[in-house]
Amino acid sequence: MRKILGNILLSAGVCFTLYSGLMYFQSISPRTVSFENAFPQNINYDTSVDSPERLIIKDLGINLPIVPTQISNNQWGLTDSGVSYLATSPLPGNQGNSVLYGHNWKSILGNLQKVKVGDTIDVVYKDGSKEFVVMYIQIVSPQDISVLDPTEDSRITLFTCTGFLDSKRLVVSAREV
C-alpha cells in the first residue's frame, strides 16, 4: 500500500514539476503573445520621432513604457519591460488598427484581465497623449489574426496571453475618442 501511495506521489510530483517547467517556458517564450501567420507591412514612419512612449490604463494601475517591435523571421519581437508596439501597424491615434501587446505578467499586462468596456487607455507621446475607450474584450485563439486586420476607424488592439498554458489571446479593442 505504501509503495502504491509512494508511486502515486512520485508520479504527481513529476507531473507538477514538468507542468511548472512548461509554464515557465511558455511565460518566457515570445510565441506566447504572437498571432500565427500574421505578416503586417513595413514601417512607414520615423520611429525615432513619432514613437508612442507610454501606455496608461488608470483603472487597472497600468503605466508602462511602449517599445516598438517588429516581426522578424516569423517571430514577434517582444519586450520584457513594457508593452510592445508592432511598428508595422499604424501609430496609435492615426487611422487604422494599431497593435500593442505584452506578457501577462503581473508587472506588465497581468491586470488586463480586469479591464472593462468603457475603461480609458491613454497612449502618451512626447508632445501629448491620445485617449482610447475600450469597446470590445474578447478571448480568441492565436489563429484568429483577423483582430489585426486594418480598420477604417482609429483604434488600438491590445492583447496578452491567457488561458491554459497561455493558449489563448485576451484581446482588447479600444477606439479613439
Partner 1 sequence: MKSITATGSILFVISTLISLISPTNAFAIDIISFPVCSNPQGELKVSYAEGNHAIVGDRNTHQGSDNVYDLGKGNFMQCYCSDDGSGIQTNWLKIADIADKEIDSYVKLGWIFVPDGAVWGLNGGAYLAKNSTLSCGSIQSTPTPTSIPSTSSGVGGVITETAASTSSDPAPVLGLANSGTAKEIAYFTIVGLACITIGKKIKAY
Does 131 bind partner 1 (CB under 8 A)? Our answer is: no
Rounded to whole angstroms, the Cα distance separating 110 from 123 reads 18
| Chain residues 21-80 in contact with partner 1, contact rule CB under 8 A | 23-24, 26-27, 32
C-beta of residue 102 within 8 angstroms of C-beta of residue 109: yes
Q: Which of 47, 58, 80, 165 binds partner 1 (CB under 8 A)?
A: 165
Quick one: residue 93, left, alpha or beta (phi over 0 = left, psi -120 to 50 = alpha)? left
Q: Which of 79, 84, 104, 154 binds partner 1 (CB under 8 A)?
A: 104
The alpha carbon of residue 68 and the mean position of all alpha carbons in its chain are separated, in whole angstroms, by: 13
Which stretch, 42-50, 59-67, 86-94, 129-137, contacts partner 1 (CB under 8 A)? 129-137
Cell of 126: 512626447
Quick one: residue 166, left, alpha or beta (phi over 0 = left, psi -120 to 50 = alpha)? left
Does 147 bind partner 1 (CB under 8 A)? Our answer is: yes
> Which residues of this chain interact with partner 1, rule CB under 8 A?
2-20, 23-24, 26-27, 32, 97, 104-106, 110, 113-118, 133-140, 143-149, 151-153, 157, 161-166, 168, 170-171, 173, 175
